[in-house]
Amino acid sequence: MLNRRTFIKTTSIAGTTFLLAPQLGKAAGFFKGSPNEKVVLGMMGTHSRGLYLAQNFAKIPNTEIGFVCDVDSKVVESTIADIYKRTGKKPEGFTDIRKLLEKKDVDAIVIAAPDHWHAPAAIMACQAGKDVYVEKPCSHNPHEGELLVAASKKYNRLVQMGSQRRSFNNVQQMIKELHSGVIGRAYYAKGWYTNHRESIGIGKQVAVPSNLNYELWQGPAPRRAYQDNLIHYNWHWFWNWGTGEALNNGTHELDVIRWGLGVDFPDKVVSTGGRFHFKDDWQTPDTQNILYNFPNNTAAEWEGRSCNGYNMEGLGRGVIFYGDKGTLFYTGGNGYKIYDGDNKLVREVKDDVPVDATNKVSPTEALDGMHMKNFIESVQGKAKLNCPIETGFKSTLLPQLGNISYRMDRVLHINPENGHIMNDLEAMKLWSREYQKGWEPKV
């Protein structure tokens, strides 16, 4: 027997299919469902970024935060209380994402758990028939990203990555201007991110707090002993769970770079750097440069400095595109400047929304709602995803390749057709990872 939700979706498809061209079906970023139906969300990982997402999704019309899932029971309780205070409706709480995915009345899952959970949870959500909003990076390693793309197609689910700049109106305009030749042929781009993070110290192995399910927190990752400088944020700097600054923040700049240069996969990547600022448990580089060559005769660079916040071009993050007739400076929020070949300012597009590059939760908080709204409207059948997983995977792969080059300490030669590393079996071992037995993601 069809339940009400299934009946509405089925009858809506029957009544509206003729309005959409065949290529604009769900796999291309549209959901042929009722555009008037409420979207019920399940939130996974709500300590910081996830709470922020829940609060902002709750503001979108016809959107309900129906379920909250976190491995920290205190976080579940505080999130439920926060959403209830804001909306008057109390979400149902879970510790185990697998239990949440059994709920039939969840339309979509929003994933803001640690990086090692992003792709495995998103794949499980697709298999459970849920659409997905997954924070960047979409995967801990390239293999997972490929699996997530495959899962989105196989189970016919919408998967949007949280590359919010894809939905900023002025950034969309900026890319159109780039592609129309406003600075001639753009052939080189440079992006950067700076911060002034403190040392995480040397952690001590202590008892797991009673409110934390550390087994579920580790999930797909091989088991490591709990230590007191790991949760809730510093896991970013441990290879077993995190992906370093290159993916924590560089994914955003590299996504804009890839978009602006009109490229998919590079053909050469090299990265240098190190953990230079402090001597502590931090494993990923706090200072890193990644260089890329692309097959369309363009190149790019990303610089990350986690522990020295000195601005470049007056900003903590940004992207500059260099062309044969001028330069375009993307100022990191929703504005940009265009210069001619003599470095004369031709035009400046401004946005009054402030950008705080050091904000851990959201440097572009006032703009992010555009991207969330795009996801909801896509689920409702009223829009097309601005960052479908195929796009998110390619942009996530760029910093992942940079990290592999850094860890292997050599240049990587890349197949520009699929992004795979060529003639280097040792480096390709980092294309995937070791999983805790029984947790291997499968499509």
Can you read off the two tokens belonging to residue 384?
Answer: 């097309």
Q: What is the model's pLDDT at position 231?
A: 97
Closest-CA residue to 42 (of 57, 32, 29): 57
**The predicted structure's pLDDT at residue 25:** 42
In order of 92, 150, 166, the CA distances from 400 in angstroms are 36, 19, 20
pLDDT in tens, the chain (443 residues): 334 344 334 333 333 222 233 333 444 444 444 445 899 999 999 999 999 999 999 999 999 999 999 999 999 999 999 999 999 999 999 999 999 999 999 999 999 999 999 999 999 999 999 999 999 999 999 999 999 999 999 999 999 999 999 999 999 999 999 999 999 999 999 999 999 999 999 999 999 999 999 999 999 999 999 999 999 999 999 999 999 999 999 999 999 999 999 999 999 999 999 999 999 999 999 999 999 999 999 999 999 999 999 999 999 999 999 999 999 999 989 999 999 999 999 999 998 776 665 666 566 666 899 999 999 999 999 999 999 999 999 999 999 999 999 999 999 999 999 999 999 999 999 999 999 999 999 99
CB 110, CB 41: distance < 8 Å? yes
Over its C-alpha atoms, the chain yields an Rg (Å, rounded) of 21
- Provide the 3-class DSSP secondary structure of residue 346: strand
d(C-alpha 223, C-alpha 232), whole Å: 17
Nearest Cα neighbor of 320 from 304, 307, 301, 333 is: 301
Q: What is the rounded CA–CA span in Å between residue 158 and residue 133?
A: 8
Q: Work out the widest C-alpha separation in the chain, in whole angstroms.
A: 70
> What count of Cα atoms within 13 Å lies in the side-chain half-sphere of residue 89?
15
Please give the Cα distance from 397 to 274 (Å, whole number): 20
Predicted local distance difference test score (pLDDT) of residue 357? 58
Q: Going from the N-terminus, what domains does the chain have, and what CATH number goes with each?
A: 4-166 (3.40.50.720), 167-202+214-358+389-431 (3.30.360.10)
* Other CB atoms within 10 A of residue 225 CB: 10
pLDDT at 360: 60
What is the model's pLDDT at position 37? 85
Please list, in sequence order, all residues whose beta carbon lies within 8 angstroms of the beta carbon of residue 168, skipping any fewer than 6 positions away: 333, 334, 364, 367, 370
Structure pTM?
Answer: 0.90
- Per-residue confidence (pLDDT) for residue 386, from 0 to 100: 98
Q: Using one digit for the tens of pLDDT, what is the confidence trace for 237-259?
A: 999 999 999 999 999 999 999 99
